[in-house]
Amino acid sequence: MGAVVVEREIAHPPERIWRALTEPHLMAEWLMKNDFVLALGHRFTLRGDWGGVLDCEVLVIEPNSRLSYRWNFAHDDPAFDLKSVVTFTLTPTEKGTRLRVEQLGFRPDQKQAYGGAKAGWRQFLEKLEQVLTGAS
Protein backbone atom coordinates (compact mmCIF):
# COMPACT_ATOMS: atom_id res chain seq x y z
CA MET A 1 0.00 0.00 0.00
CA GLY A 2 2.27 2.84 1.18
CA ALA A 3 1.38 5.67 -1.23
CA VAL A 4 -1.67 7.35 -2.72
CA VAL A 5 -0.98 8.85 -6.15
CA VAL A 6 -3.53 10.98 -8.01
CA GLU A 7 -2.72 12.64 -11.34
CA ARG A 8 -4.76 15.12 -13.31
CA GLU A 9 -4.28 17.18 -16.46
CA ILE A 10 -5.38 20.74 -15.73
CA ALA A 11 -5.92 23.34 -18.45
CA HIS A 12 -3.92 26.05 -16.67
CA PRO A 13 -0.20 26.89 -16.70
CA PRO A 14 2.00 25.71 -13.81
CA GLU A 15 2.36 29.27 -12.44
CA ARG A 16 -1.40 29.55 -11.92
CA ILE A 17 -1.62 26.15 -10.22
CA TRP A 18 1.40 27.02 -8.07
CA ARG A 19 -0.46 30.06 -6.75
CA ALA A 20 -3.39 27.86 -5.71
CA LEU A 21 -0.99 25.44 -4.01
CA THR A 22 0.87 28.15 -2.08
CA GLU A 23 -1.41 31.11 -1.35
CA PRO A 24 -3.27 30.53 1.94
CA HIS A 25 -6.56 32.11 0.87
CA LEU A 26 -6.67 29.95 -2.28
CA MET A 27 -5.58 26.82 -0.36
CA ALA A 28 -8.48 27.40 2.03
CA GLU A 29 -10.90 27.31 -0.90
CA TRP A 30 -9.85 23.91 -2.26
CA LEU A 31 -7.91 22.15 0.53
CA MET A 32 -8.39 23.35 4.12
CA LYS A 33 -8.12 26.41 6.33
CA ASN A 34 -4.44 26.98 7.07
CA ASP A 35 -1.64 29.21 8.28
CA PHE A 36 0.67 28.25 5.42
CA VAL A 37 3.72 30.33 4.52
CA LEU A 38 5.87 29.45 1.51
CA ALA A 39 9.15 29.05 3.42
CA LEU A 40 11.34 25.99 3.78
CA GLY A 41 10.93 24.48 7.25
CA HIS A 42 7.79 26.51 8.02
CA ARG A 43 5.46 24.61 10.34
CA PHE A 44 1.76 25.11 9.72
CA THR A 45 -1.61 23.55 10.36
CA LEU A 46 -4.41 22.48 8.08
CA ARG A 47 -7.88 22.50 9.66
CA GLY A 48 -10.56 20.33 8.09
CA ASP A 49 -14.25 21.17 8.14
CA TRP A 50 -14.65 17.76 9.84
CA GLY A 51 -12.77 19.06 12.89
CA GLY A 52 -9.42 17.41 12.23
CA VAL A 53 -6.13 19.27 12.50
CA LEU A 54 -3.02 18.27 10.57
CA ASP A 55 0.45 19.33 11.66
CA CYS A 56 2.58 20.11 8.63
CA GLU A 57 6.07 21.32 7.72
CA VAL A 58 7.32 22.56 4.35
CA LEU A 59 10.05 20.21 3.09
CA VAL A 60 10.63 21.11 -0.59
CA ILE A 61 10.01 24.27 -2.61
CA GLU A 62 10.79 24.29 -6.33
CA PRO A 63 8.68 27.19 -7.68
CA ASN A 64 6.13 26.21 -10.31
CA SER A 65 7.49 22.65 -10.25
CA ARG A 66 7.43 20.83 -6.89
CA LEU A 67 6.11 21.40 -3.38
CA SER A 68 6.35 18.90 -0.56
CA TYR A 69 5.34 18.95 3.07
CA ARG A 70 5.01 16.69 6.06
CA TRP A 71 1.35 15.90 6.72
CA ASN A 72 0.80 14.43 10.20
CA PHE A 73 -2.52 13.61 11.79
CA ALA A 74 -2.54 12.54 15.43
CA HIS A 75 -5.53 10.45 16.50
CA ASP A 76 -6.50 8.51 19.62
CA ASP A 77 -6.98 5.40 17.47
CA PRO A 78 -3.57 4.27 16.11
CA ALA A 79 -5.24 3.10 12.88
CA PHE A 80 -5.94 6.76 12.07
CA ASP A 81 -2.67 8.19 13.40
CA LEU A 82 -0.89 9.18 10.20
CA LYS A 83 2.62 10.42 9.57
CA SER A 84 3.00 11.09 5.85
CA VAL A 85 4.55 13.34 3.23
CA VAL A 86 2.51 15.00 0.46
CA THR A 87 4.28 16.05 -2.74
CA PHE A 88 2.78 18.10 -5.57
CA THR A 89 4.62 17.84 -8.89
CA LEU A 90 3.71 20.16 -11.78
CA THR A 91 4.74 19.23 -15.32
CA PRO A 92 3.93 21.56 -18.24
CA THR A 93 1.94 19.95 -21.07
CA GLU A 94 0.55 21.15 -24.39
CA LYS A 95 -2.87 21.67 -22.79
CA GLY A 96 -1.67 23.12 -19.48
CA THR A 97 -0.18 21.15 -16.60
CA ARG A 98 -0.06 17.59 -15.33
CA LEU A 99 -0.48 17.76 -11.57
CA ARG A 100 0.68 14.72 -9.62
CA VAL A 101 -0.17 14.43 -5.94
CA GLU A 102 1.61 11.73 -3.97
CA GLN A 103 0.98 11.01 -0.30
CA LEU A 104 3.52 8.58 1.18
CA GLY A 105 3.50 6.94 4.57
CA PHE A 106 0.43 4.74 4.94
CA ARG A 107 1.04 1.65 7.05
CA PRO A 108 -0.47 -1.74 6.10
CA ASP A 109 -3.00 -1.43 8.97
CA GLN A 110 -4.33 1.88 7.57
CA LYS A 111 -6.54 0.61 4.76
CA GLN A 112 -9.38 2.92 5.76
CA ALA A 113 -7.12 6.00 5.93
CA TYR A 114 -5.58 5.00 2.59
CA GLY A 115 -9.00 4.68 0.94
CA GLY A 116 -10.11 7.97 2.45
CA ALA A 117 -7.00 9.75 1.16
CA LYS A 118 -7.45 8.32 -2.33
CA ALA A 119 -11.04 9.56 -2.51
CA GLY A 120 -10.17 12.79 -0.69
CA TRP A 121 -7.40 13.83 -3.08
CA ARG A 122 -9.73 13.31 -6.05
CA GLN A 123 -12.27 15.61 -4.40
CA PHE A 124 -9.62 18.17 -3.47
CA LEU A 125 -8.37 18.28 -7.09
CA GLU A 126 -11.91 18.78 -8.40
CA LYS A 127 -12.25 21.75 -6.03
CA LEU A 128 -8.81 22.98 -7.10
CA GLU A 129 -9.93 23.09 -10.73
CA GLN A 130 -13.03 25.08 -9.72
CA VAL A 131 -10.86 27.55 -7.80
CA LEU A 132 -8.47 27.88 -10.76
CA THR A 133 -11.32 28.64 -13.11
CA GLY A 134 -12.52 31.42 -10.82
CA ALA A 135 -9.13 32.71 -9.60
CA SER A 136 -7.60 35.76 -11.23
Q: What is the mean pLDDT of residues 25-39?
A: 97
Backbone angles phi, psi at 127, to 5 degrees: -65, -40
pLDDT digit string, tens, across residues 35-93: 999 999 999 999 988 788 999 999 999 999 999 999 998 877 766 788 999 999 999 99
H and E: helices and strands count for the chain: 3, 7
Tell me, yes or no, whether 128 lies in a domain: no
pTM for the whole structure: 0.93
Distance of CA 36 to the CA centre of its chain: 12
Backbone angles phi, psi at 80, to 5 degrees: -105, -5
Tell me, yes or no, whether 133 lies in a domain: no
Tell me, yes or no, whether 60 lies in a domain: yes
Domain total in the chain: 1
Alpha helices, DSSP H, located in 31-135:
111-134
pLDDT digit string, tens, across residues 101-115: 999 999 998 888 899
Tell me which H or E stretch contains 18. helix 14-22
